[in-house]
Each structure stands twice: as C-alpha cells, then as structure tokens.
Structure 1
C-alpha cells in the first residue's frame, strides 16, 4: 500500500496524525473513519500480548493516555474521525482504566478541550486533589489542562470529542473553569449533543465539505450550553445549537417511527418534550413539512418492498398498510405521482 502522507487530522488527544493515501478516503471522496479493532490481531497471542500490540499500533496513535485492562479476554474497537476542526473518537473495550496525565497534555501539539461522554456502565472520574465523581451512563465531563482519569467495570464504552481550545474560549470565555464538573445525562443540551454526534458518526461527508463550519458551530454551541455557559453568546447558542439539535432529534424520531399510522407532529413533540407546532415549524424551515417527510419515507419503503423478491408474495395492500398507509387509494395515487407508475407496475 502506498504510504505517502496526504493530510493530517486532529485526534482526541490534540495530536496531528498523518493520513495515508488509500486509507483516508472512502468511495466517492468521503472522509473515512480510522478504525482499530482487536479482531484483526493474531489469534495465537495471549491476553496481555493482544492488548500491547493493539495499543502500540492503534490506540497510542489516537489518544496519548495510560490504560489498564480488565481480567476479561482482551477485546477493543476504536473508531476515530475528524470533521473539519473537530476530532471524534468512540471506543468499546475491556479496558477498565484510562488516564490522561499532565505529561500527555504537555506533549500534545494542539491545545484542545476534551469532552468525555460515558456510553457504558457507570464510570468513576478522578482528578488529583479532588473528590471522585460518579459518571452514570450518558453523563459527561469536560477536561483540558488538568489531569483526568476514568475507572470503570470490566467492559466500557465512551466517546471523546476534541475541540481546539481557542475556538471554544473565543465563544464562551471562562470555559476553562468548568473543567471537571459532571454534566448529567438528562441535560437537554447533552442529550441533543449525543444524538448529533451519533448522526455525524454515521454520515459520509466529502473531505472538504462546506458543512464543516456549520457542524463545528453547532457542536460548540451545544457544548457551551451543556457545560452551563452564560451571557449573550450562550443566548445565541441556545437559538442556534438547541434548534439544530432538536431538529436532528425530530428527524431521528420520524425515521424510527414513520411506519406508525398514528405518527403525528404532536406525538413526536410529546416524545421529545416539544410542542407539535414547534416540531412543524422546525421542519417547515427545512423546506419539507412533517407530512411530506412521512409520505416520502413510506413511499420509498413501499417501493423497496415491491421490488424485493422476498416480498413478492405479499399483496400490494398489505405492503401499503405495513409501511404506514391507512388508505389504499391514497397510497396508489401518491405512489403513481411520486414514481410515475402504479405499485403493480413497479413489481
């Protein structure tokens, strides 16, 4: 494989990591996450040897930390990516301790804020000279200039979001003073940030996407709100970040439940703690209404089933009902208008 360097990415420890030709892009020129998994290690290695090899060839490239492993057979999966100025990494492993010490912080090439989100069982976060903090599933902690350690169970999952400190400090002065404070899982801004990052993790964006600035601004806004930032910038962030985060939550809810014939803007709003009118306004601003989005999802689903040999014995009416239509005549008219042929002809 050609190992010529084609670029660098900011990783969650603030270090610049070379991207190699042939591994930095996926098909279509989209950014490809760097994935390091223990499944690719030689099977004959014993527990500790598997860990050391995985750490040496993967984990040390993404995050300069000290780690410890549990007594379970070693397993680990680490996925790291950069989206514009953001670094995002998610790991699930039989690693029960991770510590970022002062010498790791000093060695980093770029000063960053790390936002650690616990996605697994309860963790204990400790800072030298301070009381330990219990981190339930979904909670988070911001850290940057101070040592930070996390101790968990035999198997843990967490995510690290890295943002250049200057970007965050310019928007939210005093952010450094919010290091080490627990952000509860039920915080709306944190919930929206988790959902937003989950969406980004699944996306394939061009390596130089025009969306990067917007994504960065939304993430910084939600981060500031989650950590309790105050002042005029926080008020603006609330307008931008919460609205963007809520929109993604609404879209996710629609995509997960569009087959439900009773799905409505009011029901989605009830599930997310929003009013039905607010949900409709959010979607209207995107250029596609609630009903238009539902209709498109159901029609695309129906078309996929009609052309799938696995469903060839199903009646067209049954397919229409399965994807959420309650009126077969309406389904037939909508299908023909959308695709230019009847459902029967699509088969």
Structure 2
C-alpha cells in the first residue's frame, strides 16, 4: 500500500489473478491496514481495481475504480470483531451489494448503508466506481439512533443531501489527510452529520446535524469552490451558492457565521495567491499585472492598493525583497 504524501492517505492498484505473492501482499494490506475486508474478482478470474483511502479520525473514506473486484466481510474477517458501519455510494457502473441474505443493485448516485458485523460485500464490474465511508457504529448511532433501520436499502431520497455527501467525500478524502488532527476530526464529524441527515433522525438531532454538519460541510465546499476558481473575474456569491445548493442569502449567512463575508474571503484568497506567485522564482519574469489578472484582479490599480494595505509593501517591493 503506497502512502501518498500523508501518513493516513493510501493509493494502490492491483491488476491480475487472485493468487501469487503480489496478490497475497495486497490482500493482506487491504485487510490489515485499511478496509478489514477480503477481496476476490468481481467477474471472471482477474482483479482490476484502484483504491484511494483516507483515514480521518475513526472515519475511513475510500474510492474504488476498476472493472473487477469484490470486497467482502467473510466468516474469517468477521473474527476480528469489528462492528462498524459502511455507506456505499455508487458513482458509475453496476454496483452489487450483498448483505446477509439480501442483494440489491445500486444505480448511479444511489447509496446503501451496510453493517460490517455480518456477512456482506460490494461487487464492482464493467468500469464501476464507488465511494465508501466506514464509520464506527457508536459514532453514527449517537447522532442517528435508528440508523440500523436503514440497513441494506437503496437510499434514493433527499437528492440535495446525497449530493452534499458525495461532494464532501471528495473534498475530505483529498484535503483531510493534509490538515491537522483537529481539522481531520471536524471533517469526520461533519461527514457523519451529513449521513445522519441522509438517514433521518429525530428533531433535536436533525437540528444539531444541520447546524454542526451540513452548514460546516457547505462552507468547506464553497471555500474550496472559491479557491479553485480564483482566476474567474465573474466569480460571485450567486454562482458559488448555486453550486452549493443554497440561496445567495443563506450562503452569505454561512460565511458571516465565521466572522467574515464572502467578499472578504474571496479578496483574501486572491491576495494570498498573488503573494505565492510573486515569491515563486519560476514567475520572476512575469509582470505583476499579469499575476494580478491570473488571480482574478481585472483592475491593477485596485489590486496595488489592496495588496499594500494587506501586506504593508507593494507587490514590486515584495518581489525585490
């Protein structure tokens, strides 16, 4: 299993028959290091699967893609006593779920909650892609006491919440392992809160999950959207809110709860980007105005004023220093 830039971020691919030293090593690492499952071909006599796994606190986020693999809690793996729960998200292709005596097929964007203390499995085939979220049972039941009533069902309802779960999975899986321990635990809690909203809980816990999880996840997603699109001169609260699935007024309110406005956050990120570009030796021959435009500042005079106010020096003086 290859650690990809962080001690709790793994990437690995296996292609070949389910036998031999390489397969046994990969199989053991999947069980011992990450997933607590056994793996076999999903179709035919060969495995073709790429795995990305991110561990945030006690929550493990996995992304799987390939043409053939089946991950199962077998009688042997159940001996470890692990009783966590796992949400499976079908991203593309056919995803077959087995859970004790039940079997269901998930279509794109559908989700299913499974119990890892019983015989269960997830089969990929025909260029499938799935995401998984493994959660300690007590952590989920604390915010969603009736989660076990939703086991082995195709979760089709609440499209906005399902979309938030899928988008936040992508954000947390890629950025979470590179944040500090506190940030990782917060992301894990936000993820669990979103799942509780998806499954449904009582009024008090719904309010808590909405405030603590959904709003925080939406804020993280909107911030990430801003940072990814700083070069766009037409980036506004309206476009960011629409992508996050909230009204511009609610988006502004979510930002203001952190002590800043959307406009202030956008300006700060653009200034930080220009400073980074100025200090990069690879950009030493680029004009300051070019760097400002690439960060979304159409007005160079305005850029120079706000840059000096923020950093106490002009862009040219910072570069010279």
Map of 1:160-309 to 2, 5 A cutoff? 160-184=132-156, 187-201=159-173, 202-203=175-176, 204-206=178-180, 209-211=181-183, 214-309=186-281
Mean Cα deviation higher: 105-114 or 260-269: 105-114
Match for 1:55 among 23, 26, 31? 26
Match of 1:140 in 2: 111
Q: Residues 25 and 143 (structure 1 numbering): CA distance in 2 closer, same or farther, change over 3 Å?
A: same
1:157 to 2:132 alignment: no
Structure 2 unpaired stretches of 5+ = none
Distance in 2, matches of 1:249 and 1:212, equals 15
Instruction: State the match for 1:33 in structure 2.
Output: 8
**1:114-146 per-position Cα deviation (integer Å, ceiling 9, x unaligned):** 11223443312244544532331x432101054
Moved more, 259-268 or 314-323: 314-323
Q: Is the 8 A contact 2:54 2:61 kept in 1?
A: yes
Provide the rounded CA distance (Å) in 1 between the counterparts of 2:157 and 2:314: 48
1:61-101 Cα offsets, whole Å, 9 max, x none, are: 23223421556985544344433232333333443323334
Instruction: Give the whole-Å Cα distance in 2 for the aligned partners of 1:55 and 1:70.
Output: 19
Residues 280-300 of structure 1: per-residue CA shift (max 9 Å, x gap): 111111123211211122122
CA distance in 2, matches of 1:100, 1:132: 16
Distance 1:341 1:71, change over 3 A: farther
Q: 1:258 to 1:212 in 2, by over 3 A?
A: closer
Aligned to 1:318: 290
What TM-score do you get using the length of structure 1 for normalisation? Answer: 0.77
What is the number of equivalent residue pairs in this alignment?
A: 313
TM-score normalised according to structure 2 size: 0.82
Alignment CA distance shift 1:311-1:87 (3 Å):
closer
Task: Kindly state the Cα deviation for residue 178 of structure 1 after the two structures are TM-superposed.
Answer: 0.2
Which stretch of the first structure deviates more once superposed, 165-174 or 70-79? 70-79
Show the counterpart of 1:67: 40
Query: 1:64 touches 1:104 (CA, 8 Å); kept in 2?
Result: no
Residue 191 of structure 2: SS of its match in structure 1?
helix
Higher helix share: 2
- Kept after mapping to 2: 8 A contact 1:320/1:328: yes
8 Å CA contact retained: 1:258, 1:298:
yes
Cα distance change of structure 1 residues 96 and 81 upon mapping to structure 2, 3 Å threshold? closer
Distance in 1 (alpha carbons) for counterparts of 2:163 and 2:202: 19
Distance 1:254 1:275 in 2: 16
Please, what is the CA RMSD of the aligned residues? 3.3
